[in-house]
A = this chain, B = another copy of it.
Amino acid sequence: MASPDAPLLRALNGDRPERTPVWFMRQAGRSLPEYRELRVGTRMLDACLTPDLAAEITLQPVRRHGVDAGIFFSDIVVPLRLAGVEVEIEPGRGPVFASPVRTAADVDRLTSIDPDVVAQSAGPIKEAIRYVTQELGDVPLIGFAGAPFTLAAYLVEGGPSKEHMRARAMMAGDPASWNKLAGWLAQVSHAFLGAQIEAGASAVQLFDSWAGSLSPAAYRKSIAPHSTAALAGHDVPVIHFGVGTGPFLDDMRLGGVADAVGVDWRMPLDEAAGIVGEDVTLQGNIDPAMLQAPWPTLEAHVRDVLSRGEAARAHIVNLGHGVPPETDPDVLTRIVELVHEAQ
């Protein structure tokens, strides 16, 4: 069981621990040779639903890098699979759905599935998490889920898309179907987060990776209420993450529901702190592109991120988006050392 004094949890509660906590989105994954070895012959969603595999993959980066949190190895479409939706993750492409959800009838069919099924069928997830949290000891485990908009962007399109136009068209052209779909997805994500917390996750993060394709007005009207529903009412701290969400960063606080807000690499943390104020912790915002730059450039960038992060009530170091698969893992370890030493 993670200690409440763990730097990550203290930072989420608004304290400034002696050691600034650091972890990386997608730290469990393709950047690690031990991950690639373990995954040979196993499809992504099968790996997510095999407790000993999911547990081992979750633990790998914590052992290797000495990060301040594990993030449970899973995928944002796992709860949809648990709900019985036909979905597969194609290597190099992403989630692909057998039946895109485009019409009012499609939405009715999908949302007739009881979201409680997700929690009821989450046995393998909970088993993996119980083992992981035991192994992690003092280090907290973060559970996660996809935000309603990002999940809907995949579902309506039937797969990955660049500007998520079909989902945005539904939002404007058929708001009743949109709200039904996004409301159902919020319940699904809420149930999936709840299952992870019940099994031992010490914090949860909601990923709205595609929210940056929206105007602030559309975000406020059609998205924020559903993301709030997904994150509200959990009894652990919650982190709300998006990419390109600078133009509506204050809305990402979800009216105070989020204990921490993620900031990508586009906006410096001192500016972000000025926008979101004193009631929220900031997480981020190392530019993943800098992982490919020579170390002196990267080191100067990390120090700059740390220094600007002092403007926030508390700061959890992370990348502005996930670890790119081609990243040299030794560079990540070096960043952890730098962050832990730099006081």
Interface residues of A (CB under 8 A from B): 163-166, 168-169, 172-174, 212-217, 244, 246-247, 265-268, 287-294, 297, 301, 321, 324
Contact = CB atoms under 8 A, between A and B. Distances in A.
A172 B293 contact: yes
A17 B268 CA distance: 42
Given A169-B290, A215-B267, A247-B267, 8 more contacts: A164-B289, A165-B324, A166-B289, A172-B297, A174-B294, A215-B266, A216-B266, A247-B247
Contacts of A267: 215, 247
User: Copies per complex?
Assistant: 2
A289 to B, nearest CB: 4
Contact of A165 (B165, B244, B288): B288
User: What 10 A-B pairs have minimum CB-CB distances, sorted nearest first?
Assistant: A173-B293, A165-B289, A168-B289, A169-B292, A173-B297, A169-B293, A215-B266, A169-B289, A173-B294, A172-B293
Contacts of A214: 266
A293 to B, nearest CB: 3
A169 B286 CA distance: 12
A212 B163 CA distance: 13
A293 B172 CA distance: 7
B301 A172 contact: yes
B163 A292 contact: no
A215 B289 CA distance: 12
Contacts of A287: 168, 172, 215
B266 A172 contact: no
9 contacts: A166-B292, A168-B287, A169-B289, A169-B292, A169-B293, A172-B301, A173-B292, A173-B294, A215-B267
A305 to B, nearest CB: 12
